[in-house]
Amino acid sequence: MLDPALLAPEKVRPLLRREYEQLVELGVFEDERVELLRGQLVTMSPQGASHATVTARLAQYLIKMLDDAFDVRSHSPFAATDDSEPEPDVSVSRRQRRRAYHPSKALLLIEVAESSLRKDRRIKSAIYAENGVPEYWLFDLRTRTVFVYTRPQHGLYTLVEKRGRGDSLRPTKLAGVALSVSKVLSGR
């Protein structure tokens, strides 16, 4: 790994989101699972069976509870900032009438973590807060808990609550939606 301090006074030039999208369109990353975080290409961890199952459940439950005014996407780009285009495990945004686009605003973003917990907690939460995403859920599969991030201000979420089995998740911007943590994690 290159230590940028060794290059001083030169600087490492980050990749901009629009440049990244052009490279994606050209097929440069066709055989790679990468996302753009803070101007850097970051490889994405392979998904284990638990990760894939919980992510699929979340998307399925949300699709059933929401109408056609919303887009529920899985593992799709989110145009968060000029230098970041993460791919949250699940995103919910208001449906746009454009033909093809990556949403730049979301009502709810969800990450499911086994090996990516530190990245999701420290880097992605700040990116999502900077974008003004009102709610971010982080499912920690190792502890079987969910961290609910709300009230974004100045690039940070000012409220983080921990939820576990027996608790329900009710997104602040999605009226009528309620998910049982136990049901999402165990399927029952």
In a domain, 73, yes or no: yes
**What's the mean pLDDT in 78-85?**
96
Q: What's the domain count of the chain?
A: 1
Mark out the alpha helices in 26-124 (DSSP H runs): 49-65, 117-118
- CATH number at 150 reads 3.90.1570.10
**What's the mean pLDDT in 48-60?**
96
In a domain, 11, yes or no: no
Name the residue type at position 153. Answer: Q
Strand partners, 41: 36
Residues in Cβ contact with 91 at an 8 Å cutoff, skipping those fewer than 6 apart: 71, 72, 73, 76, 78, 103, 106, 108, 109, 110
In a domain, 141, yes or no: yes
pTM, rounded to two decimals: 0.93
In a domain, 19, yes or no: no
Judged against a pLDDT cut of 90, whether residue 75 lies above it is answered with: yes
What integer pLDDT is reported at residue 46 of this predicted model? 87
pLDDT digits (tens, 9 = 90+) for 92-130: 999 987 777 789 999 999 999 998 999 999 999 999 999
In a domain, 119, yes or no: yes
In a domain, 113, yes or no: yes
Judged against a pLDDT cut of 80, whether residue 188 lies above it is answered with: no
In a domain, 128, yes or no: yes
Judged against a pLDDT cut of 90, whether residue 3 lies above it is answered with: no
- Residue range(s) defining the domain that contains residue 128: 47-186
In a domain, 143, yes or no: yes
